[in-house]
Chains A and B, each alone.
Chain A
C-alpha cells in the first residue's frame, strides 16, 4: 500500500499526475494482470444501443425508473432517450443531430475542405471500409488499409446509398447541413478516480485489472462519490440507496471474458483489451483517419498526463468533447486536496486562536 505520507507530500503520484500502474499503487502484487480498458471508436458507432441492452442484461441493472408518468421517457431532444449515465445506466449512447445552415459547416462539422467532396456534410473517407472484411478492416488493432490503398479496394459508403446524396435526414437540402454523431459513453475508470479517493467507507476499490468497482455490500449511500466524478458517471440508485456504475464487467474479466458491451457491439466501436494495446490501436486509428482527411478526429482520455492521469476507457471523437456531454478538460478533484487540508488546518488553528483571543483582558465585570 502506498504510504499516505507519500501521497500527500507529492513524492508519489497517488492523487494526481502520471501513474503508469494504478493497481500496483493500490497495493496489488506486481504480478497482477495487465491494466484493461475500453477504446470506444465513435467513428464507427451506428447508435444501435446494443451495448446499453447487453449491459443491462448481463449486470441485471434495473429499469431507470425515474418518471412513471412518462411511459416511454422520451427526452424530446434526439434519438437519445436514455439521457445520461447513471446508477442504472452504465452505457449510454449519445446521439447528436447536428444541423447547420447550408454552407456554414466548418471542417469540424464535416464541411467541404477537401476538393472532391460534393456531399458536403459527411467527412470524406470517414465511413469508407476496407473491401469485404468488415470488422477486420475497421479494427484498428489490425493493420489499417493505409493511405496507399486509397481508391482501389475501398468502398465509400456514400456510393452505396440509394441515389448518392439523397438518403433520409442525412441529406443536405438547400438550406441545411445535417450530421449525426453517435458515441457510447461509459465510466472512464480513471487513473486518478475521484469517486474512489473520496469514498469514506472503502466501498469503491481498485481492482487487480486497474478498474474501479463499487462493493455494494459496503456502500452506505453517503453519495460523496456522485459530485466527485468529473464526468458525472456514478450515481445513487433510488430503489436501493447504493451507488452504482460500470464495473467493466469485473465478474466476466475474472473468467477471461470480455465485457458484455464490447461483446455485443456489432461494429467494434467498443473495443476491449489491455490498455497499452488499445492505446496503440487508437493512435493508429487516429493517424489513419487524419490521413483520410478526417481532421476533426481526436482522442479523448488517451493522454496519461491529463487531469485524471488518463482514462481506462477512452474515446475517439469527431467533435469537441462537450458536444458529446463530456467535460473538455477534466481534472481530478484530489489534485488540490493536500492544499485544501493545509488551508483547513490553518483556518482551524486561526479559529481556535480567535476564540481564545476573544477572552483577552476580558476580566470580570
Chain B
C-alpha cells in the first residue's frame, strides 16, 4: 500500500469537473465532444463515472457517522465521571451515549433500502465486512449505553439505597461496558467508508480513523461542555479541545497527502462544509479554553465544537460522492500506478505483473 500515494502525482489542469455527469442524470451535457479533445490528460468513456457512487442516503449516513462518534466518546466521559464524582457530566454522557446509539441505529435502519430486514445484519459475523463488524459493535454498545441511561433515569425515583443502590451499581457496570466499546464505535466508521473503491475515501484510509477519532472527541467533549456544570466540565473541555486540534491537523494532512484526489474538498458543497467545520472547530476550541468557566460561553463553545464535528462528517461524505462520480479520480491515479510499475520493470527491479502490452504511441 505504501506506493499508492504519490506526492508528485500529476495535477490536472484542463479537466472541467462540471462536465462530469451526475450519476443518474442522463441526456444532458456535452459528452459527445469529450473524445474529440485529444489534449485531455486522461481518457474515459464519454466522461461517465467509472465506479458507482454510494447509494447511502444523506443525511442518514453522515448523521450516523457523527452520532457514533458523539456517543462513543461520551460513554467514556460518563464512565470516568462516575469514577471522579462528576454527576452532571455523568448524566449528560450517559443520556447522549444512549440517545446517539439509538438515533444512529434508527438512521442506519432508515438508510437500508429494505428496512424490514435490518436484523439480517446480525445473521453472520464477517470480519471482512466493516458494516457487519459495525453492527456487532453498535448492538452491544446500544445495549450497555441504554442500560446506563436507564439507571440514570431511575436514580431520582429509586434513590441510593436497597434496590436503588443495586440499580445504580448495575448502571455503572453497563456504563463501563459502553465505555470499553465506545471508542471502537467512534473509529470503525472510518474503516466503513475507506474500505470502498471510492478513491478519496480509500486512499485516506490512514487519515480517516484519526480524523474521526478527533471528530468524536470534539463532539463528545462539546456535548459535555453544553450539558455539564462548570464544576464538572473541565475534562470535557480538555477532550474537546484536543479533539478539535487533532481533527484540524489531520484534515490538513489528509488533503495534502491525497494530492489530486483532494480536489473534491476544494469545490462544491464539500468545500463549504469543510470550511464551516474548520471555523466552528477553531472558534469552539478557543471558546472552550477561554470561556469554560462561564456557563453560557461553555455551552456556546460546546455547540460550535459539535457543529464542527458534524460538518466534517457531512463534508467527508460529500467529497466521497464527488470522488466516485469523477472518472479522473479512477483513471489518473491508476495510470500513474501502471506507469511507475512499468518504470520499475524497465529498471529490472520487480517482475512484470500485467500481461497486456501497453498500446504503442499512447
Contact = CB atoms under 8 A, between A and B. Distances in A.
Contacts of B49: 84, 232
B51 A230 contact: yes
Contact of B236 (A4, A98, A113, A358): A358
B299 interface: no
Interface stretch (A146-154, A219-227, A249-257, A266-274): A219-227
A346 to B, nearest CB: 8
B96 to A, nearest CB: 14
Interface residues of B, number: 104
A230 B197 contact: yes
Contact of A327 (B179, B209, B330): B330
Interface in A62-96: 66-67, 70, 73-78, 83-84, 86, 94, 96
A354 B186 CA distance: 13
B128 interface: yes
A334 B52 CA distance: 17
A106 B196 CA distance: 36
B14 interface: no
B22 interface: no
B42 A322 contact: yes
Given A220-B120, A298-B359, A322-B42, A305 B205 contact: no
A355 B220 CA distance: 9
A298 B44 CA distance: 17
Nearest to A176: B36
Nearest to B328: A322
A236 B207 CA distance: 29
Interface string A329-365: 1100111110111011111111110111011001011
Interface residues of A, number: 103
Contacts of A99: 35-36
The interface residues of chain B, by DSSP majority, are classed as helix
Contacts of B115: 220
B114 interface: yes
Nearest to A346: B209
The interface residues of chain A, by DSSP majority, are classed as loop
A233 B205 CA distance: 23
A299 interface: yes
B347 interface: no
B54 A223 contact: yes
Given A324-B45, A329-B337, A358-B221, A200 B51 contact: no
A348 B187 contact: yes
Nearest to B234: A362
A28 interface: no
A238 to B, nearest CB: 8
Contacts of A356: 76, 80
Nearest to A349: B183
A219 B197 contact: no
B337 to A, nearest CB: 5
A55 interface: no
A199 interface: yes
A336 B331 contact: no
Interface of B: 1, 24, 26-27, 31-32, 35-36, 38, 42-46, 48-56, 72-73, 76-77, 80, 83-85, 111-115, 117-118, 120-121, 123-124, 126-132, 134-135, 179-180, 182-184, 186-188, 190-191, 194-198, 202, 205-206, 209-210, 212-213, 216-217, 220-221, 231, 234-236, 238-239, 242-243, 320, 324, 327, 330-331, 334-335, 337-338, 353-362
Given A86-B52, A298-B358, A348-B186, 11 more contacts: A66-B26, A76-B32, A96-B45, A197-B128, A203-B120, A223-B55, A227-B198, A325-B50, A329-B334, A347-B190, A355-B217
9 contacts: A73-B26, A86-B52, A298-B356, A298-B357, A320-B362, A344-B190, A351-B183, A354-B217, A365-B231
Q: Report the 9 A-B pairs with minimum CB-CB distance, sorted nearest first.
A: A221-B113, A325-B45, A241-B113, A298-B356, A220-B117, A200-B132, A355-B76, A108-B359, A106-B361
